[in-house]
């Protein structure tokens, strides 16, 4: 004993020790800690799972023991009756001895001799001994089984009682674990399994003893019982061994588990027979085997389920279960479940086919008279149908399908008709479901045509090949071609007639085979199937726009449709006929008047972006067809009428520059140019076109296309009010690109490649148009990195002077435009124009300085109320005056021309002399001071030059 702990123990008083001891023994008390209390829910989960297992185990034992008690009681009673008769054969019968004595005495009297009686000796026969041994043993075993069964019932009750003595989950869980582990430790499972074995031995002993009992009585009867016993033993042995070799067998005897264990002791012999591993009991082996290759069994389960659902009201639970089994939480489908789910709609029996049942369900408008309940039921049915279509489409896209075990169409034509005309179904789900059903049917049709092509390309006699192709094509008709294509339908009819005729005329020729092959080759042309996909996508979008409905999971449905085929649906290199391309002209078919103010609201931008992409999926969008012209007009009007947030979304999603293409393609159409001009303005105004403060390559490309068109524009464009602004803004976009790239080059933010060939070409073109009265720098392309540093600096300086002069000229022109406009629109990208000019300390051409000064004077020369307003309805001149004009520079060092300075001073003085003058605006005072300095320096220079002349 460690003596260091003695003082602590001795410090406790006797009363305290006794009190603690008594308290620990009180029933119902346990010293649980707060940490244990925090685990109550965790322990409850263990208790629930453990109690479910224990309940099923103990209830099984109890029912088995109840059966054995009843059987052993009846059996013992019957056996006792037999024993009463059999045990007499173990002793001499006194009646026999008495009759023997009487017989001997009568014989002696008749002979006159003296009677001498000797009692005969008795020796029980071997069959009697064997019979009684076995029957008494059988009776003992039967009674033992009854006693043990009673014990098992008592022990199970005690087990459950102990597990529920404590209400605390922690204590209850630990008691449950303690008693169950004890149950396993002492092998109660084996004990319970032994009781039926003893009973079976008892019964076997009875039958063997019965043979011994009947052997002295009657030989024929003995043989009969022997035969019965042999049959019984064979059946018993069979019932014992069958589950060892067939794990799905329902038969089993207590000896089966024993033999299974013995077999596995021989290096896992029984487990290896079933390709299993591990230390598995017979029951565990059955569970493990049931999880292997379950596809056929799953199919039978699903077929049974469908056969059991006789009424539509019973279908709703399975409708709800189907999406859960098919769709993944993050999107996509569970292709691994296809085999299970496909068994629901592969049956040709409508009563057993889930698609037929859904068809019938929605055709009857559901099962409830309550509108709310009705809508819910229809939604559930359509979600199930949509999930099935989604699964079939993706499975058909990624996996090969055996046509022999596949329906011609997963979804029948009648279902398609119901979805097309029904007005009681939820619109958003109906549109998406209909599109996916059509897509699945198109896949099925394509699969059949491919199979026909494979059959016709094989080797063999013409009649055999045509007959095989006709068998494959059976079930497909012209009504299954749901899109408008004269080319496809004509070849389809031709192929169908050839294949049908081959079944009636058995003398098919090689020419007929070749005709069929040519017809199939035309049907397999990628353009034909692209047209079909465009038709499905077009119908999907058109129905959405027509009903003002956002389809259920629109993006997912749209992507699933056009990805259901290996074709590049949006590749314009894949040609389609002009009459097939009409399916993509959705905007021209809208029943909505695009001139109404609510046009962008009735067609959400998310939907319009998809229409735009579909419209540009063929080369026919650039034609002069009235439909295409109308489409382009509606697209541009939509862009002009929608809100700024909608414009931002549209431009962001339009990664293929369809809006720009729509504008460029329509520029040469002189009818109604206004919406094109407004669209150009809208696109220039979009912030999403900018790459930071720089010009994006997308905007630069578009601006250059407009720049090239401007000289060729007809008078209908040039006379339009906003055309001058389009010209100025186009020039500014290209100029801005040059300004920022040249600045990056000057500040070592970029190398010589900052001015790429396109930028250099744009500078040349701008110089010819905007700076024709100036000579361009000698070398517009950047100098190489190896050039002399001074020459490089000089080149950059001359280029900056050229570009900044161009920038200021554009500013002067925009000031003139704002001066002339009175509609409250401030034109121009003033933030962009000020960005580099405000810190510029270089030079600007004097002529352009004068143009700027003159434009400023024109603005100030307006009536004061036009440039001096502060209200929200202020004229553009006023907005320009206060918001932009005086922020073009901090130092105004580029103002060097005296004539321009004098005009600017007059303009500023007029502003300051106005009766409503509220102080200088932004850097107005700095500009005034700079102009005064320039004038003073000019006067001094003139004075010096005059004095020099006099001298």
Q: Is pLDDT of 322 > 50?
A: yes
Confidence of residue 519 (pLDDT cuts 50, 70, 90): very high
Q: Is pLDDT of 40 > 70?
A: no
Separation in Å, CA 477 to CA 166, 448, 449: 74, 11, 12
- Domain membership flag for residue 877: yes
Mean pLDDT confidence for 530-547: 91
Count of the separate structural domains present in the chain? 1
Q: Are strands 690-691 and 694-695 parallel, antiparallel or unpaired?
A: antiparallel
Q: Is pLDDT of 681 > 60?
A: yes
Would you say 365 and 321 are in contact if contact means Cβ atoms under 8 Å apart? no
Residues 6+ apart with CB under 8 A from 783: 752, 791, 792, 795
Radius of gyration of the chain (CA): 51
CA 513 to chain centre: 45
- Domain membership flag for residue 810: yes
- At 733-752, the pLDDT tens digits run 889 888 888 887 777 655 55
Q: Which range has highest mean pLDDT (45-59, 91-105, 436-450, 798-812)?
A: 436-450
Give the C-alpha separation, 323 to 807, whole Å: 62
Q: Is pLDDT of 22 > 80?
A: no
Confidence of residue 645 (pLDDT cuts 50, 70, 90): confident
Q: Which of 839, 857, 650, 847 is nearest to 746 (CA)?
A: 839
Give the C-alpha separation, 304 to 96, whole Å: 71
- Provide the 3-class DSSP secondary structure of residue 327: strand
Mean pLDDT confidence for 307-336: 85
Q: Look at 34-43, 253-262, 557-566, 574-583 and tell me which has the smallest mean pLDDT.
A: 34-43
Give the C-alpha separation, 356 to 342, whole Å: 13
Give the C-alpha separation, 708 to 583, whole Å: 33
Query: Higher model confidence: residue 177 or residue 363?
Result: 363
Q: Is pLDDT of 881 > 70?
A: yes
- At 263-278, the pLDDT tens digits run 888 878 888 888 888 8
- Domain membership flag for residue 165: no
Q: Look at 194-198, 298-302, 635-639 and tell me which has the smallest mean pLDDT.
A: 298-302
Q: In the structure encoding, which two tokens stand for residue 221, read together?
A: 């009867």
pLDDT at 507: 63
Confidence of residue 388 (pLDDT cuts 50, 70, 90): very high
Q: Which of 586, 592, 593, 688 is nearest to 644 (CA)?
A: 688
Would you say 40 and 166 are in contact if contact means Cβ atoms under 8 Å apart? no
Q: Please give the helix or strand (H or E) that residue 466 lies within, else none.
A: helix 462-473
- Domain membership flag for residue 876: yes
CA 167 to chain centre: 46
Q: In this structure, how many other beta carbons lie within 10 angstroms of the beta carbon of residue 212? A: 22
Q: In the structure encoding, which two tokens stand for residue 481, read together?
A: 């071609």
Q: What domain range includes position 863?
A: 806-950
Beta strands in 420-578 (DSSP E): none
Q: Which of 812, 775, 897 is nearest to 846 (CA)?
A: 897
Confidence of residue 871 (pLDDT cuts 50, 70, 90): low
DSSP letter assigned to residue 886: G
Q: Look at 79-83, 112-116, 904-908 and tell me which has the smallest mean pLDDT.
A: 112-116
Q: Which range has highest mean pLDDT (86-90, 184-188, 376-380, 665-669)?
A: 376-380
Query: Higher model confidence: residue 646 or residue 86?
Result: 646
- Domain membership flag for residue 897: yes
Q: Is pLDDT of 389 > 90?
A: yes
Query: Higher model confidence: residue 590 or residue 680?
Result: 680
Query: Higher model confidence: residue 491 or residue 880?
Result: 491
DSSP letter assigned to residue 950: H
Percentage of the chain lying above the pLDDT 90 cut: 14
Confidence of residue 757 (pLDDT cuts 50, 70, 90): confident
Mean pLDDT confidence for 325-341: 86
- Provide the 3-class DSSP secondary structure of residue 694: strand
Q: Which range has highest mean pLDDT (190-204, 225-239, 428-442, 801-815)?
A: 428-442
pLDDT at 306: 82
Separation in Å, CA 263 to CA 274, 282, 289, 773: 12, 11, 18, 107
Q: Is pLDDT of 168 > 70?
A: no
Give the C-alpha separation, 457 to 518, whole Å: 11
DSSP letter assigned to residue 690: E
Q: Look at 125-134, 245-254, 467-476 and tell me which has the smallest mean pLDDT.
A: 125-134
- Domain membership flag for residue 928: yes
pLDDT at 264: 82
pLDDT at 523: 92
Residues 6+ apart with CB under 8 A from 640: 675, 678, 679, 682
Q: Look at 149-153, 242-246, 569-573, 592-596 and tell me which has the smallest mean pLDDT.
A: 592-596
- Domain membership flag for residue 848: yes
Q: Is pLDDT of 508 > 80?
A: no
Give the C-alpha separation, 532 to 583, whole Å: 9
Confidence of residue 433 (pLDDT cuts 50, 70, 90): very high
Confidence of residue 29 (pLDDT cuts 50, 70, 90): very low
- Domain membership flag for residue 899: yes
Give the C-alpha separation, 40 to 859, whole Å: 82
Over the chain, what is the mean pLDDT? 79
Q: Is pLDDT of 36 > 60?
A: no
Confidence of residue 903 (pLDDT cuts 50, 70, 90): very high
Give the C-alpha separation, 413 to 479, whole Å: 9
- At 394-411, the pLDDT tens digits run 998 888 887 777 888 999
Q: In the structure encoding, which two tokens stand for residue 716, read together?
A: 């209908």
CA 667 to chain centre: 42
């Amino acid at each position: 004993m460690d003596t260091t702990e003695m003082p602590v123990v001795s410090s406790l008083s006797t009363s305290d020790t006794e009190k603690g001891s008594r308290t620990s023994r009180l029933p119902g008390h346990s010293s649980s800690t707060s940490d244990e209390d925090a685990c109550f829910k965790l322990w409850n989960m263990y208790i629930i799972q453990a109690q479910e297992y224990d309940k099923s185990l103990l209830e099984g034992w109890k029912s088995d023991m109840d059966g054995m008690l009843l059987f052993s009681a009846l059996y013992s009673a019957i056996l006792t009756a037999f024993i009463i008769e059999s045990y007499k054969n173990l002793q001499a019968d006194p009646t026999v001895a008495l009759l023997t004595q009487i017989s001997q005495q009568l014989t002696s009297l008749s002979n006159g001799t003296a009677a001498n009686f000797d009692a005969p000796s008795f020796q029980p026969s071997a069959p009697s001994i064997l019979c009684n041994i076995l029957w008494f043993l059988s009776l003992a075993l039967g009674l033992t089984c009854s006693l043990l069964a009673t014990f098992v019932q008592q022990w199970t009750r005690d087990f459950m009682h102990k597990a529920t003595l404590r209400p605390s989950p922690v204590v209850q869980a630990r008691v449950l674990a303690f008693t169950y582990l004890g149950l396993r430790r002492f092998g109660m499972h084996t004990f319970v399994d032994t009781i039926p074995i003893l009973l079976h031995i008892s019964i076997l002993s009875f039958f063997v003893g019965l043979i011994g009992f009947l052997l002295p009585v009657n030989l024929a009867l003995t043989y009969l019982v022997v035969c019965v016993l042999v049959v019984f033993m064979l059946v018993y042995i069979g019932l014992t061994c069958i589950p060892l070799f067939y794990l799905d067998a329902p038969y089993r005897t207590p000896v089966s588990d024993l033999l299974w264990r013995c077999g596995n002791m021989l290096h896992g012999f029984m487990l290896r027979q079933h390709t299993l591993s591990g230390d598995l009991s017979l029951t565990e082996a059955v569970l493990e085997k049931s999880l292997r290759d379950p596809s056929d069994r799953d199919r039978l389960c699903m077929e049974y389920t469908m056969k059991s659902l006789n009424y539509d009201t019973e279908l709703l639970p399975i409708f709800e279960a189907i999406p859960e089994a098919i769709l993944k939480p993050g999107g996509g489908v569970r292709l691994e479940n296809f085999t299970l789910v496909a068994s629901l709609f592969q049956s040709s029996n409508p009563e057993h086919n889930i698609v037929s049942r859904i068809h019938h369900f929605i055709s009857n408008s559901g099962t409830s008279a309550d509108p709310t309940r009705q809508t819910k039921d229809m939604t559930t049915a359509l979600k199930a149908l949509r999930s099935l279509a989604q699964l079939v489409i993706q499975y058909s896209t990624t996996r090969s399908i055996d046509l022999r075990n596949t329906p011609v169409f997963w979804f029948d034509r009648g279902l398609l008709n119901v979805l097309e005309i029904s007005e009681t179904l939820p619109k958003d789900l109906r549109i998406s479901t209909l599109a996916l059903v059509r897509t699945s049917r198109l896949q099925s049709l394509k699969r059949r045509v491919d199979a026909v092509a494979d059959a016709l390309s094989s080797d063999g006699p013409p009649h055999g090949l045509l007959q095989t192709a006709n068998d494959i094509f059976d079930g497909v008709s012209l009504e299954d071609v749901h899109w408008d294509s004269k080319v496809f339908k004509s070849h389809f009819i031709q192929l169908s007639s050839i294949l049908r005729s081959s079944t009636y005329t058995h003398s098919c020729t090689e020419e007929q085979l070749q005709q069929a092959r040519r017809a199939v080759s035309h049907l397999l042309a990628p353009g034909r199937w692209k047209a079909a996909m465009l038709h499905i996508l077009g119908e999907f979008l058109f129905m959405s726009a027509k009903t003002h409905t956002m389809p259920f999971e629109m993006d997912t449905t749209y992507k699933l449709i056009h990805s259901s085929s290996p074709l590049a649906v949006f590749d314009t290199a894949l040609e389609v006929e002009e009459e097939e391309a009409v399916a993509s002209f959705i905007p021209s078919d809208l029943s909505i008047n695009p001139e109404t103010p609510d046009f962008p609201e009735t067609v959400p931008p998310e939907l319009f972006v998809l229409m735009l992409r579909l419209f540009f999926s063929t080369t026919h969008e650039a034609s002069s067809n009235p439909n295409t012209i109308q489409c382009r007009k509606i697209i541009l009007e939509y862009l002009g009428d929608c809100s700024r947030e909608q414009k931002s979304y549209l431009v962001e999603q339009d990664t293929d520059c369809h809006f720009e293409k729509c504008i460029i393609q329509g520029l040469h159409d002189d009818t109604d140019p206004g919406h094109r001009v407004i669209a150009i303005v809208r696109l220039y105004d979009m912030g999403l076109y900018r790459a930071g403060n720089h010009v994006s390559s997308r905007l630069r490309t578009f601006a250059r296309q407009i720049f090239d068109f401007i000289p060729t524009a007809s008078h209908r464009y040039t006379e339009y009010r906003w055309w001058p602004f389009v010209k100025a803004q186009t020039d500014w976009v290209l100029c801005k690109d040059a300004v920022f790239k040249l600045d990056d080059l000057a500040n070592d933010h970029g190398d010589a490649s900052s001015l790429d060939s396109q930028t250099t070409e744009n500078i040349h073109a701008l110089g010819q148009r905007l700076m024709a009265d100036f000579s361009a720098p000698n070398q517009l392309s950047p100098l190489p990195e190896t050039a002399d540093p001074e020459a490089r600096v000089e080149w950059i300086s001359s280029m900056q002077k050229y570009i900044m002069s161009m920038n200021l000229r554009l500013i002067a022109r925009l000031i003139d435009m704002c001066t002339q406009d009175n509609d409250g629109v401030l034109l121009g990208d003033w933030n962009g124009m000020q960005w580099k000019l405000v810190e510029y300390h270089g030079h600007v051409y004097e002529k352009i300085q004068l143009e700027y000064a003159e434009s400023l004077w024109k603005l100030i020369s307006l009536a004061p109320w036009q440039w001096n307003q502060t209200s929200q309805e202020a004229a553009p001149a006023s907005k320009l005056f206060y918001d932009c004009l005086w922020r073009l520079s901090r130092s105004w060092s580029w103002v060097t021309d005296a004539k321009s300075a004098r005009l600017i001073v007059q303009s500023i003085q007029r502003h300051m002399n106005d009766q409503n003058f509220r102080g200088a605006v932004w850097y107005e005072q700095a500009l005034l001071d700079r102009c005064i300095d320039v004038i003073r320096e000019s006067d001094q220079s003139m004075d010096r030059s005059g004095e020099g002349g006099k001298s």
